[in-house]
Amino acid sequence: MQPFLKSTNNQNPRPLKDKWATGSSTEKKDKPWVDKYRPKCVDEVTFQEEVVAVLKRSLQGADLPNLLFYGPPGTGKTSTIFAAAIELYGPKLYKQRVLELNASDERGIQVIREKVKNFAQLTVAGTRPDGKACPPFKIIILDEADSMTAPAQAALRRIIEKESRTTRFCLICNYISRIIEPLTSRCSKFRFKALAHNVQEERLLKICEKENLKYTQESISALVKVSEGDLRKAITLLQSAARLIVDNEITELAVFEISGVVPTQMITNLLQVCFKGSFEQLEFAVQSMVDKGYAATQILSQVHDSIIEHNLSDKQKSVVTEKMAMMDKCLSDGADEYLQLLSLCSIFLPQAH
């Protein structure tokens, strides 16, 4: 039984399970780089200056408001609250003072009534192992909170009010519009921005240096481009490339292969056939891309980016993008990829103009 835990509902104290218990040395060695290089303190969080400034002031007073972090994936929302928890409770004690739930898996009202409510009813006291004062509250992190059902969000509203003395909540989501207004009004809202290219490059270069990886500047730029502001995705792709390319340097082509992105030259060749070739040549080009296993949605995304930058009139671009929207809907409904790509590309043919 943990000596610093006691229940507010006059029941026997319930010790908190350490769900972050460390494993063997082999597990540590094979730890994903996303976790290995996660910020250990608030100062290490990059490109989110407003959030860091507010959190640092809150941590100095050993108090936190209820928080709502929202923004694109891979921008540091979960990492930031864990870094704040480590600073508040210390690297050992925070594992017992923090409850993390992924609301996309556990999003029903029963989870709110049982797990969240039971944890929130526990009070904490005592000091940290290093002798510093320990805040008299716990933290409950609800990741992907925008996936919670409306009844679950309504039930959470009451728990936040009732347990405000012993518990702080941190809701994390991608779309704040999916959080009900009574919850957003009870939290301090912080928007996380998509990471700038230079920030991602700097972090990737540091990881390459620590892992003794050989790389080219083109490969780092490719990682940044493919990840689209998602640093978690960029680091995961870098680790995958490092496992694939043994004793060789990571190249731009290797990054494209791992991420499933179609090489730029292949998209260029496809568009050249579309604008200047025959229907038979177009059939062969589309079939070739499908046979190589490239996803139609990925081809569609890259063709869209190329068309936007292409020297076409606004009217032509509007016709093409409307066709792309129809194709995207058909692919979502399970339509044949080859036929949809052929239908899209055929509107570029000279005969179709």
Here the CATH number for the domain that contains residue 231 is 1.10.8.60
Q: How sure is the predictor about 339, in pLDDT bands with cuts at 50, 70 and 90?
A: very high
Of the residues 136, 158, 191, which one is the last residue of a structural domain? Answer: 191
Q: What is the dihedral of CA 255, 301, 340, 261, to 10 degrees?
A: 0
Domain span at residue 294?
A: 264-352
Q: How sure is the predictor about 29, in pLDDT bands with cuts at 50, 70 and 90?
A: low
Q: What is the pLDDT of residues 155-176, one digit of tens each?
A: 888 888 888 888 888 999 999 9
Q: 123: Cβ–Cβ under 8 A, 6 or more apart, which residues?
A: 5, 6, 7, 8, 136, 166
H helices of 136-263, in order, are 150-162, 181-184, 197-210, 217-227, 231-244, 252-259
Q: What is the DSSP string of 240-256?
A: HHHHHS-SS-B-HHHHH
CATH number at residue 294: 1.20.272.10
Predicted confidence (pLDDT) at residue 106 exceeds the cutoff of 70: no
Q: Verify that 326 and 219 share a domain, yes or no.
A: no
Q: What is the pLDDT of residues 180-222, one digit of tens each?
A: 998 999 888 888 888 888 888 988 999 988 888 888 888 898 8
Mean pLDDT on 137-164: 85
Predicted confidence (pLDDT) at residue 299 exceeds the cutoff of 70: yes
Average pLDDT taken over every residue of the chain: 80
Q: Verify that 69 and 163 share a domain, yes or no.
A: yes
Q: Verify that 87 and 134 share a domain, yes or no.
A: yes
Distances (CA, A) of 97 to 120, 134, 198, 325: 10, 10, 35, 47
Q: What is the pLDDT of residues 113-127, one digit of tens each?
A: 777 777 776 666 666
Angle 18-107-177 from CA coordinates, rounded to 5°: 120
CATH number at residue 55: 3.40.50.300
